[in-house]
Structure 1
Amino acid sequence: MKTSFFTILITILSLSLSPSLSQRCNVKDEKTLLKIKKSLGNPYQLSSWNRASDCCRWYHVQCDLYNDRITSLTIYSANISGRIPDALGSLPFLETLIFRKLTNLTGPIPFTITKLTRLKNLTFSWTNLSGTIPSFLSRLTNLKSLDLSFNNFTGTIPPELATLPNLQTLHLDRNRLTGPIPESFGTFTGKVPAIYLSHNLLNGTVPKSLARVNFTWLDLSRNSLHGDLSVFFGTNKTIKAADFSRNMFEFNFSKVVEFPASLSALDLNHNRIYGSLPTTLTGVNLQRWNVSYNRLCGEIPAGGNLQKYDNTAYFHNRCLCGSPLPACY
């Protein structure tokens, strides 16, 4: 009888205590996530978000192992409508926030994002967000990656982004951004990030200030930019890959005589570049190369990787000749 009594008592205690003992997720974070779910219209993709289970086990969510606060919220490829919920600002330990391929997500980026001071990775990509890219994103000083690609953002690039001291990657491509590249992009306070600005409506000349910094990855393709690209080249530079195609760049390529040893990809097609190809290009290990649709003349230097490409990398120039194009006469 004693054994039976204690067994019953232990069972009752375990049933009453087990929910609190197994609950990892912070109560405030749980309430915030449920507010976010409601703001997004209670979508099917967030059906696991309910109080019947620990919110650290909900889909799209990760908690810190030590303090059990929400550190990651990643929602992608979902049929979600609405705006970015203001409640996001009430997840103070968030380090990763990704909303990707939510095609019915609309409106601007809310100011409440600035409360996420621990944020390292921010992605709002492949949505229908609009408005300007807010300068207040520069307050997120721990950001390493900022991806706002494939949206409907308009206006100019905020120069304040160059003050982000830990930024490693900046994706602003595939929007409707206008105006020039900010002068401040030549004054990044930390390591110079990989920058992707392609498929926008950017115009103006490349700022001379960009000569002061060393880019590694740079994509300015498919804009209306013009000017001289020689600021990116030289033996003291560290650029690895650059895509300047489909702009209005106009300069004498013959005068660019030094290229960084790190350069492995260079696309200059569909511009107004003139002169001849420098012979020093034969010493560069180019894995991607295209100068088609320009105004180049003279013989293609023999050697290196320049003959490894077919004529599509060279055709539609004024008077460029030599392998792989027809011989010079």
Structure 2
Amino acid sequence: MDLKLSTLLCFTLLFSTILNPALSERCNPKDKKVLLQIKKAFNDPDVLSSWTPETDCCRWWFDVTCDSMNRVNSLFIYSGRLSGQIPPQVGDLPYLVDLRLHKQPDLTGPIQPSIAKLKNLMSLDLSWTNISGSIPDFLSQLKNLTYLDLSFSNLTGSIPSSLSQLPNLGILHLDRNKLTGPIPESFGEFHFSLISLYLSHNQLSGKIPTSLAKLDSETIDFSRNKLEGDASMLFGLNKTTLIVDLSRNLLEFDLSKVKFPKSLFSLDLNHNKITGSIPVELTQLDLQYLNVSYNRLCGQIPVGGKLQSFDSSTYFHNRCLCGTPLPSCK
């Protein structure tokens, strides 16, 4: 081919691409159509103003990312006032791995059932919204899920035991809702995967299941509920737990009999009905935070470790606890 003719063809192709972006568009047309439907369902909010038919969703649309095959794999809309319920079209993005509609106070209604179609989903974050209703059983169908955050919402009802069927779940946030009923017995089946379990600031009641003795999570937060009875099964010498917060419940067990993991560096047991004495084993831990106030503890605070580095608020309002930093024992 003549060099001049070849150069002319290259320039023609270049200019046609510039004038007609559709010729070079990466975005899969099916995914683009779905995203535009989602935008319409949300009444064309300002936060989605970059979502226009004329531009490439993989290159130019905010809050959207695509994989190497140019399929939409992430939808992360952080704040921006989405209004209404989650559109059913979110279930029509089959390659979605990450779905996060975070800090959306005007997002209402139940968790959209079509989310169950997202078999590749690994992260689901609907936190800091006003979604309501119960936590649906269909979430257990998302077998690739590693992160589930439904915190700071208006969810009610009991926690479905079926969530334990998520084999890869590492982080579970159900805190700051209006959940009732017991912690499911099945949650002991999480012990191979669950790194962090947050159930705080709900209205959960009943006893902590003994099956949770199998749980070896880095963080356990059951604070500000109405849980009763024993919680000693959450601890253990062979566990790797770092943080435990059981504060402001109705728990009642003998603290002196608890075997604490050596990894523990934060322990909050305040406002319960815990009895016994503070075990000397706590002096061997590198505690960065401790609160056992407002319980029914007795005896002298063991000397050593970090126990004297905390002020009196860590220990006060117990039945007969004494010793530094509290008044000396008589």
Q: Name the TM-score, length of structure 1 as normaliser.
A: 0.95
Residue 143 of structure 1 corresponds to: 145
Q: Which amino acid aligns with 1:14?
A: L
User: Are 2:64 and 1:61 aligned?
Assistant: yes
Q: CA deviation at 1:158?
A: 0.6
Which of 27, 30, 37 aligns to 1:28? It is 30
Inter-partner Cα distance in structure 2 for 1:61 and 1:105: 19
What RMSD, in angstroms, separates the aligned Cα atoms of the two structures?
Answer: 1.7
Q: Which amino acid aligns with 2:247?
A: S
Residue 175 of structure 1 corresponds to: 177
Structure 1 residues 208 and 9, CA gap change in structure 2 (3 angstroms): closer
User: Are 2:305 and 1:304 aligned?
Assistant: yes
Residues 194 and 217 in structure 1, CA contact (< 8 A), matched pair in contact too: yes
Q: CA deviation at 1:309?
A: 0.4
Q: Which amino acid aligns with 1:62?
A: T
Structure 1 residues 304 and 25, CA gap change in structure 2 (3 angstroms): same
Inter-partner Cα distance in structure 2 for 1:276 and 1:24: 66
Residues 108 and 132 in structure 1, CA contact (< 8 A), matched pair in contact too: yes
Secondary structure of 2:131 counterpart: strand
Structure 2 counterparts to residues 113-192 of structure 1, below 5 A: 113-188=115-190, 190-192=192-194
Q: CA deviation at 1:26?
A: 0.3
Identity across the alignment (%)? 56
Residues 167 and 190 in structure 1, CA contact (< 8 A), matched pair in contact too: no
Which of 28, 42, 53 aligns to 1:40? It is 42
For structure 2, the residue ranges without an aligned partner over 5 or more in a row are none
Inter-partner Cα distance in structure 2 for 1:173 and 1:207: 18
Secondary structure of 2:273 counterpart: coil
Between stretches 120-129 and 180-189, larger displacement belongs to: 180-189
Inter-partner Cα distance in structure 1 for 2:218 and 2:132: 29
Q: CA deviation at 1:6?
A: 8.0
Which of 99, 103, 108 aligns to 2:101? It is 99
Inter-partner Cα distance in structure 2 for 1:307 and 1:103: 44
User: Are 2:201 and 1:218 aligned?
Assistant: no
Structure 1 residues 21 and 281, CA gap change in structure 2 (3 angstroms): same
Secondary structure of 1:295 counterpart: coil
Residues 296 and 318 in structure 1, CA contact (< 8 A), matched pair in contact too: yes
Inter-partner Cα distance in structure 2 for 1:291 and 1:259: 15
Residues 162 and 189 in structure 1, CA contact (< 8 A), matched pair in contact too: no
Secondary structure of 1:187 counterpart: helix
Q: CA deviation at 1:288?
A: 1.1
Q: Which amino acid aligns with 1:16?
A: S
Residue 243 of structure 2 corresponds to: 241
Inter-partner Cα distance in structure 2 for 1:108 and 1:231: 34
Q: Which amino acid aligns with 1:200?
A: N
Q: Name the TM-score, length of structure 2 as normaliser.
A: 0.95
Inter-partner Cα distance in structure 1 for 2:5 and 2:279: 93
Q: CA deviation at 1:20?
A: 3.8
For structure 1, the residue ranges without an aligned partner over 5 or more in a row are none
Residue 277 of structure 1 corresponds to: 278
User: Deviations along 1:282-312, whole A, 9 cap, x unmatched?
Assistant: 1111111100011111100000110110001
